[in-house]
């Protein structure tokens, strides 16, 4: 008999080595959340610098009140998919609010951000189509491509010229062509060069899907993401995003203006056969979208905080994931043991950051990844920088900028 789980032996060896080095970096327990930027970890109050809580809305009183009200009025869950009994008035209200925020005609809410990518990609593209995908795309995008059955063509990360070459080679292929880009890439924090890709779009005529998971609510004069920031919003045929970051809830969405957009509801299996989001999650997301619309100053504060931390790390001589300032600020480390050691030292010192290791990172890079919140105070940002400096000075080496 072949042991089906024996293939995980090397993975479990890595995991055991991580545990021997200190805390469980991929299963850390937040014993209590004290605020959007503070938590109790290992019995110690800790600055949270790895939560993706970009807009700091998780403790907003109006959002919490909306969730409690939804629990009282609609109960704990829908117990059904959207095509069965799982569509409540709250779901339709959230879709309308999102469509207005995005200035698009149609919007579909999914149960998670992961399901949104699965559902939108597999809903739009099929076996006769071709999907052109940035090599550094999120796993949910890759899985959406697999589910669609479409032909997959990868192009080099953020390389519009490479995309153009691959489009030219398959210009006579049957079916449609879908290109998927991310507004902010989740590991390194860099942006897609939108203008370059739009020029290729004008030449080859594909349809463009923007995954604005980490840029929704964050970038652009209207908070709609990278396409909004670049002034090229009309060139995004489909927009996908999540509620688990700037919106501070759980769920995801897909939106667009295509006259047949609503057909996705009747074709996308991740939408059709998944229980719909719970009333409390929908209600808190709805209130958060309204908050983002009426408080654009949160985006300004987030940019100030991101710049402050980025410059602080640069002053320490750390090698950054990229040269662009975004709420995702990654520090490169030379190898896995060093990354784990520094992560543990930072946690012991009082700051939690994300650890990012291969194969979840591009090009086998090891990272310590921070995500900045508008709720971080200047003192907290400076303390994060100070603790990084102390840990490096104590001999936990990271890559230094050359």
Which pLDDT score, from 0 to 100, does residue 402 have?
A: 47
Confidence of residue 398 (pLDDT cuts 50, 70, 90): low
Q: pLDDT, tens digit, for every residue of 198-247?
A: 999 999 999 999 999 999 999 999 999 999 999 999 999 999 999 999 99
Q: Stretch 88-111: mean pLDDT, rounded?
A: 98
Q: Stretch 109-119: mean pLDDT, rounded?
A: 97
Q: What is the mean pLDDT of the chain?
A: 95
Domains contained in the chain, CATH given: 6-57+296-393 (3.90.1150.10), 61-294 (3.40.640.10)
Q: Which residue has the tokens 């005609």?
A: 105
Lowest mean pLDDT among 49-53, 295-299, 316-320, 394-398: 394-398
Of the chain, the percentage scoring pLDDT greater than 90 comes to 95
Which pLDDT score, from 0 to 100, does residue 394 have?
A: 79
β-pairing, 130-134 vs 151-155, is parallel
Strand order, beta sheet including 354-356: 328-333, 366-371, 354-356
Token pair, residue 391, equals 């840990």
Whether the CB-CB separation of 81 and 273 falls below 8 Å is answered with yes
Is residue 362 predicted with pLDDT exceeding 50?
Answer: yes
List strand residue ranges (DSSP E) for 204-321, in order. 207-211, 238-242, 252-256
Please state the φ and ψ torsions of residue 50, each to the nearest 5 degrees: -155, 45
Which pLDDT score, from 0 to 100, does residue 103 have?
A: 98
Confidence of residue 400 (pLDDT cuts 50, 70, 90): low
Which pLDDT score, from 0 to 100, does residue 339 have?
A: 94
Give pTM, 2 decimals.
0.94
Whether the CB-CB separation of 205 and 178 falls below 8 Å is answered with no
Q: pLDDT, tens digit, for every residue of 135-190?
A: 999 999 999 999 999 999 999 999 999 999 999 998 778 899 999 999 999 999 99
β-strand partners of 108: 254
CA-wise closest residue to 368 among 321, 402, 314: 321
Token pair, residue 357, equals 């290791």
Please state the φ and ψ torsions of residue 36, each to the nearest 5 degrees: -60, -20
Whether the CB-CB separation of 400 and 333 falls below 8 Å is answered with no
Length of the chain: 402
């Amino acid at each position: 008999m072949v042991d089906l789980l024996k293939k995980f032996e090397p993975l479990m060896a890595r995991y055991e080595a991580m545990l021997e080095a200190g805390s469980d970096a991929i299963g850390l327990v937040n014993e209590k959340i004290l605020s959007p930027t503070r938590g109790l970890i290992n019995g110690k109050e800790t600055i949270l610098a790895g939560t993706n809580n970009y807009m700091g809305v998780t403790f907003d009183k109006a959002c919490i009140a909306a969730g409690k009200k939804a629990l009282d009025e609609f109960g704990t869950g829908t117990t059904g998919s959207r095509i069965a009994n799982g569509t409540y008035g709250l779901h339709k209200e959230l879709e309308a609010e999102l469509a207005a925020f995005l200035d698009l005609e149609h919007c579909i809410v999914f149960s998670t951000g992961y399901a949104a990518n699965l559902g939108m990609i597999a809903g739009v593209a099929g076996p006769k189509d071709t999907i052109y995908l940035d090599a550094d795309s999120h796993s949910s995008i890759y899985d959406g491509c697999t589910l669609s059955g479409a032909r997959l063509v990868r192009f080099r990360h953020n390389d519009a010229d490479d995309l153009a070459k691959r489009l030219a080679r398959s210009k006579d292929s049957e079916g449609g062509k879908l290109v998927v880009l991310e507004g902010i890439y989740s590991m390194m924090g860099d942006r897609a060069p939108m203008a370059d890709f739009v020029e290729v779009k004008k030449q080859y005529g594909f349809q463009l899907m923007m995954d604005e998971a980490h840029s929704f609510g964050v970038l652009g004069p209207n908070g709609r993401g990278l396409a909004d920031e670049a002034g090229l919003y009309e060139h995004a045929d489909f927009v996908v995003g999540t509620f688990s970051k700037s919106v501070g809830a759980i769920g995801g969405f897909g939106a667009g203006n295509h006259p047949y957009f609503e057909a996705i509801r009747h074709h996308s299996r991740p939408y059709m056969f998944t229980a719909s989001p719970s009333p409390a999650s929908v209600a808190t997301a709805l209130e958060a979208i309204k908050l983002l619309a009426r408080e654009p100053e949160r985006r300004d504060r987030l940019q100030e905080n991101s710049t402050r931390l980025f410059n602080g790390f640069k002053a320490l001589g750390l090698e950054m994931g990229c040269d662009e300032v975004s709420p995702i600020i990654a520090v490169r480390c030379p190898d896995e043991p060093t990354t784990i050691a520094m992560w543990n030292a930072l946690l012991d010192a009082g700051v939690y950051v994300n650890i990012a290791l291969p194969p979840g990172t591009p090009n086998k890079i090891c990272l310590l990844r921070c995500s900045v919140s508008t709720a971080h105070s200047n003192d907290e940002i400076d303390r994060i920088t100070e603790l990084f400096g102390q840990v490096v000075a104590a001999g936990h080496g990271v890559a230094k900028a050359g």
